């Protein structure tokens, strides 16, 4: 009893408030539907379906009664409503079909509503009878002469019957005096309708517009009519429609209503989407969409495949069965490519006789590396060479640059070394260096290189001949420790070359005469090169320096001439200030001459070199070793001529790299 009372009070309170509602789509609306009316799964109110069968009818009403007057003899309130509708003919046909009506009626359904031309609102007996108490706005695409319809595309205000109080062709007054524009009700396009009643002025305005324009300022229809006699105290608001056998559907997409005020605006973007217009759209999709889509798909797959193949080719490597045992020393080309940022020019550290050297950072371990790219066309001898690399890879000495591993591609070999931040020694020695080394640093470099070379010759499990000892192959680590690099590389070009050509690899000025003659590298030829290196470091000059056209300064001869005059210290680098140890400079210069002896047997071994440098044994007297005063003992001129001849007469393929070295030695006097 108590609850009932509370509910009654609540209901009357709610009713006292001015009613308003907004439906942007009808999924959450509790409409009262009859006939074939339905709310589709996406929220469209579909009043009729496109059965193409007999005429069908559909009604949809706001479920609750709406108070339009204070009492039965009072004047009607103002109200405003707006909705979006669409009349769709299937197959894109504009066959006509019935219209749609906004209705204010005394009952929720329209029990007497007839089919066909009565829009489901009236029937032939009650049409026009004032006892109907029905107000309607018709959107009518059919001309019914019996109701005085003006054309087959009109909007009308109907009171109690289908003979309109006022009607006009569908259209709208565009904003900003844009003129009147026709609209076709059955176009299938959604359109918006505003119905407004001013209870004081007794004026009914009806405005129509396409969905994408703002509400026109000038109404399409405006009629003076007092609805107080038409509308009862409580009424029902809704829509009514019928469809004949013409495959036409009537939709309402959104609806709002406000008593005594302006109907809330609809949020057009939230309105449910109309279904695609049937077969034509589908055929468009089939004839254009599907081929275009499948073509794009094929294109995409092809592009993907091309990308994949190019990537695969870009990072392709050569890997043969025999290499499997060197697995740990094998680097992935992709890793090296990423490490050096694709072998970018600004990662280039230098260009040597064998190829370009790039700086890099290994992607996984972030270790800094130097990658030497050696182009190598011949596969001959590669197996032995890689075996040698693998064994060299196990060499570890504080004065040797560690070879971390290798990678092999078609025509290309990549060697991965420890990165030496201070670069090669030569740039501290000649060509007016910006930074030079003082004597104690130079002496440390010399003893370091000697110790590294001694390790290669005698201390390791097998004899390794370096073949290319020179200042530019000596690298300086972070603490300026000398580290000998590039060992064994020369051997790559020693294998399998044409026997007709002299296969010498090395750099002119560091090549022992017997090496040029026989082509055979020995520990002795390494000692000869080390001698040239000693003079280089002490004098700050290249072994052969161009002094003019056809005139070269041969460093050994030059130093020898100072020795001959009994003033060997004068040959030292003038960049060395007075801070040098005279005994050490003299030792190094004399040892340089001794190592450069033309007779291999007269040269010391690396073991002896180390002992001399450490002062363990005294250097023999040079004058007792057959150094004659004319300097021919060094036989440099002879060797140079031989070499030049063999270079010009045998431009063999496998020779190209050593010839490069020779050429650059002649032109620039260095590496
Ligand atoms: C709309 O009606 C609700 C109650 O249903 C009310 O709270 C609200 O103030 C009304 N809004 C307007 C603009 O009248
Ligand atoms: C139209 O609606 C009627 C009644 O709801 C139904 O029987 C018929 O199958 C519908 N036709 C179509 C094409 O949806
Ligand atoms: C039309 O619909 C009715 C039921 O609503 C059905 O009995 C009749 O067979 C249909 N006719 C056609 C031609 O589809
Ligand atoms: C929907 O409206 C009907 C009356 O038309 C009412 O009985 C029913 O409870 C309402 N449902 C909801 C969920 O509001
Ligand atoms: C209806 O009655 C209310 C008071 O109950 C009054 O404020 C309002 O003006 C009346 N409206 C009309 C149209 O008579
Ligand atoms: C309206 O009707 C009520 C009774 O329902 C009556 O008291 C009142 O005088 C009437 N007013 C007018 C203006 O007729
Ligand atoms: C017309 O509608 C009225 C109710 O509005 C009903 O009483 C009458 O029977 C209907 N006549 C026909 C022919 O359907
Ligand atoms: C209007 O309808 C009522 C009842 O529905 C009837 O009594 C009356 O005669 C009708 N008037 C006309 C002019 O048809
Ligand atoms: C609009 O329609 C009317 C007929 O209803 C026609 O006379 C007029 O030319 C049309 N205007 C345009 C711009 O199509
Ligand atoms: C109806 O339209 C007329 C003319 O544009 C305008 O003066 C009047 O205020 C409008 N009434 C309503 C209720 O919108
Ligand atoms: C509407 O009001 C009239 C009097 O104004 C009354 O005769 C009629 O029965 C009412 N209709 C309904 C459905 O309440």
Q: What residue's CA is closest to ligand 9, atom 14? A: 182
The ligand whose atoms approach the alpha carbon of 259 most closely is 1
Report the C-alpha gap between 257 and 206 in whole angstroms.
14
Looking at the chain, which residues constitute the CATH 3.30.200.20 domain(s)?
321-418
**Among this protein's residues, is 468 annotated catalytic?**
yes
Ligand 10: distance of its center to the CA of 226 in Å? Answer: 15
Distances, alpha carbon 28 to alpha carbons 22, 39, 239, 254, 509, in Å: 11, 10, 17, 12, 96
The ligand whose atoms approach the alpha carbon of 58 most closely is 2
- Residues 84-101: tens digit of each pLDDT: 999 887 655 545 567 889
Tell me if 543 sits within 8 A of 593, measured CB to CB: no
Taking the CA of residue 64 as reference, the ligand 4 atom at the shortest distance is: 5
Tell me if 387 sits within 8 A of 400, measured CB to CB: no
| pLDDT attached to residue 82 | 96
Q: Identify the segments of the chain with pLDDT beneath 70.
A: 1-17, 50-55, 90-97, 111-119, 244-246, 277-284, 320-328, 352-354, 376-382, 384, 388, 390, 393, 487-506, 624-671
> Residues with Cβ within 6 A of ligand 1?
17-18, 20, 261
| pLDDT attached to residue 516 | 80
CB crowding 4-19: b at 16 or more within 10 Å, else e: eeeeeeeeeeeeeeeb
| pLDDT attached to residue 640 | 44
Taking the CA of residue 199 as reference, the ligand 5 atom at the shortest distance is: 13
**Architecture of the structural domain at 425-667:** Orthogonal Bundle (1.10)
| pLDDT attached to residue 452 | 92
Report the C-alpha gap between 122 and 25 in whole angstroms.
28
Nearest to 241 by CA among 257, 252, 253, 230: 252
Tokens 């359904």 belong to residue: 109
Q: What residue's CA is closest to ligand 4, atom 6? A: 63
Q: What residue's CA is closest to ligand 10, atom 1? A: 205
| pLDDT attached to residue 609 | 94
| pLDDT attached to residue 649 | 30
| pLDDT attached to residue 405 | 82
Pocket test for ligand 8, best of 123, 125, 131 (most atoms within 8 A of CB): 131
| pLDDT attached to residue 212 | 86
Taking the CA of residue 54 as reference, the ligand 3 atom at the shortest distance is: 1
Looking at the chain, which residues constitute the CATH 2.60.120.200 domain(s)?
20-263
Q: What residue's CA is closest to ligand 11, atom 12? A: 106
Element (H, E) at 447: helix 439-454
Q: What residue's CA is closest to ligand 9, atom 1? A: 182
The ligand whose atoms approach the alpha carbon of 64 most closely is 4
| 332 marked as binding residue | no
Looking at the chain, which residues constitute the CATH 1.10.510.10 domain(s)?
425-667
Quickly name the fold that domain 20-263 has.
Jelly Rolls (2.60.120)
CATH number for the domain whose boundaries are 321-418: 3.30.200.20
Report the C-alpha gap between 359 and 355 in whole angstroms.
13
| pLDDT attached to residue 647 | 34
Report the C-alpha gap between 442 and 460 in whole angstroms.
26
CB crowding 416-427: b at 16 or more within 10 Å, else e: bbbbbebebbbb
| pLDDT attached to residue 180 | 92
* Structural tokens at position 670: 């260095």
- Residues 219-248: tens digit of each pLDDT: 999 999 999 999 999 999 999 887 765 677
To the nearest 10°, the Cα dihedral for 536, 537, 541, 543? 10
Question: Is the CB of 53 within 6 Å of ligand 3?
Answer: yes
Pocket test for ligand 10, best of 194, 203, 263 (most atoms within 8 A of CB): 203
């Amino acid at each position: 009893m108590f609850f009932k009372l509370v509910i009654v009070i609540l209901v009357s309170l709610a009713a006292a408030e001015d009613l308003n509602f907004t439906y942007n789509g009808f999924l959450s609306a509790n409409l009262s539907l009859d006939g074939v009316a339905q709310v589709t799964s996406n929220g469209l109110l579909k009043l009729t379906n496109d059965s193409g069968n007999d005429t069908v009818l559909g009604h949809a009403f706001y479920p609750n009664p709406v108070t339009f007057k204070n009492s039965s003899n009072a004047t009607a309130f103002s109200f405003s409503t707006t909705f979006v509708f669409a009349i769709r003919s299937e197959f894109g046909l504009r066959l006509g079909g019935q219209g749609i009506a906004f209705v204010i009626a005394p009952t929720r359904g329209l029990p007497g509503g007839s089919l066909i031309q009565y829009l489901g609102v009236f029937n032939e007996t009650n049409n026009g009878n004032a006892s109907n108490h029905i107000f309607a706005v018709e959107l009518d695409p059919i001309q019914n002469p019996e109701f005085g319809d003006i054309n087959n595309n009109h909007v009308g205000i109907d009171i109690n019957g289908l003979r309109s109080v006022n009607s006009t062709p569908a259209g709208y007054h565009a904003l900003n005096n844009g003129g009147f524009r026709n609209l076709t009700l059955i176009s299938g396009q959604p359109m918006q309708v505003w119905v407004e009643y001013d209870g004081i002025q007794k004026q009914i305005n009806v405005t129509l517009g396409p969905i994408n324009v703002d509400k026109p300022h000038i109404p399409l229809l405006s009629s003076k009519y007092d609805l107080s006699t038409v509308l009862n105290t409580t009424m029902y608001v809704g829509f009514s429609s019928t469809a004949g056998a013409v495959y036409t559907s009537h939709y309402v997409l959104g609806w709002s209503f406000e008593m005594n005020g302006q109907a809330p605006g609809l949020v057009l973007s939230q309105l449910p989407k109309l279904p695609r217009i049937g077969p034509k759209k589908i055929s468009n999709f089939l004839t254009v969409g599907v081929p275009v889509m499948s073509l794009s798909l094929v294109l995409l797959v092809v592009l993907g495949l091309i990308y994949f193949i190019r990537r695969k080719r870009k990072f392709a490597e050569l890997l043969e069965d025999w290499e499997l045992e060197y697995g740990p020393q094998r680097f992935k080309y992709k890793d090296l490519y990423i490490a050096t940022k694709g072998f970018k020019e600004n990662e280039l550290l230098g260009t040597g006789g064998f190829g370009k050297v790039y700086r890099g950072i290994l992607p996984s371990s972030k270790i800094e590396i130097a990658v030497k790219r050696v182009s190598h066309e011949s596969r001959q001898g590669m197996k032995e060479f890689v075996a040698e690399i693998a064994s060299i890879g196990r060499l570890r000495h504080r004065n040797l640059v560690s070879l971390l591993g290798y990678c092999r591609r078609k025509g290309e070999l990549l060697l991965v070394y420890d990165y030496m931040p201070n670069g090669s020694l030569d740039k501290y020695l000649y060509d007016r260096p910006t930074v030079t080394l003082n004597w104690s640093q130079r002496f440390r470099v010399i003893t370091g290189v000697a110790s590294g070379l001694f390790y290669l010759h005698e201390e390791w499990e097998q004899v390794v001949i370096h073949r290319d000892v020179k200042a530019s192959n000596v690298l300086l680590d972070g603490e300026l420790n000398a580290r000998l690099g590039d060992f064994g590389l020369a051997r790559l070009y020693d294998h399998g070359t044409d026997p007709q050509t002299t296969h010498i690899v090395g750099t002119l000025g560091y090549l022992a005469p017997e090496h040029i003659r026989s082509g055979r590298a020995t520990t002795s030829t390494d000692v000869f090169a080390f001698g040239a290196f000693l003079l280089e470091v002490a004098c700050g000059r290249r072994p052969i320096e161009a002094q003019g056209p056809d005139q070269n300064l041969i460093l050994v001869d030059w130093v020898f001439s100072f020795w001959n005059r009994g003033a060997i210290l004068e040959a030292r680098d003038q960049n060395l200030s007075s801070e040098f140890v005279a005994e050490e400079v003299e030792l190094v210069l004399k040892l340089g001459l001794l190592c450069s002896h033309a007779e291999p047997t007269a040269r010391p071994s690396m073991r002896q070199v180390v002992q001399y440098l450490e002062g363990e044994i005294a250097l023999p007297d040079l004058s007792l070793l057959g150094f004659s005063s004319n300097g021919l003992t060094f036989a440099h001129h002879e060797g140079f001529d031989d070499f030049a001849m063999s270079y010009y007469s045998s431009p063999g393929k496998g020779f190209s790299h050593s010839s490069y070295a020779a050429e650059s030695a002649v032109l620039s006097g260095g590496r």
